Amino acid sequence: KISLISKKVQKMEVPFASKLRREGNSIFVITNTSVIELKEDKLKTVFSEPKAQIVEKNNNGYLALIGDKLYLYELF
């Protein structure tokens, strides 16, 4: 679990968070099954799939393992 504190000293709990990434002005929290963006002091789910496993994040997007297939999703 990662706790995020915004500029306004606001605490946000993100359960099962495993990685924190910054892309330009955006901050992404990668959990086991979802990618969440911290935008304007709010958490916005970019991708969520209960059967998926987020395995890697790169400049183009992130890789999600769903079943026996690997998918590349873009962040924008």
pTM score, two decimals?
A: 0.69
Please give the chain's pLDDT, 76 residues, in tens: 777 666 665 677 888 888 888 877 788 888 888 889 987 778 899 888 888 888 776 666 778 888 888 888 876 5
Q: Domain range for residue 40?
A: 2-74
Which pLDDT score is estimated for 59?
66
Which pLDDT score is estimated for 62?
77
Which pLDDT score is estimated for 70?
85
Amino acid at 46: V
How many domains does one find in the chain?
1
Say which CATH number the domain at 29 has: 2.40.10
d(CA 3, CA 43): 12
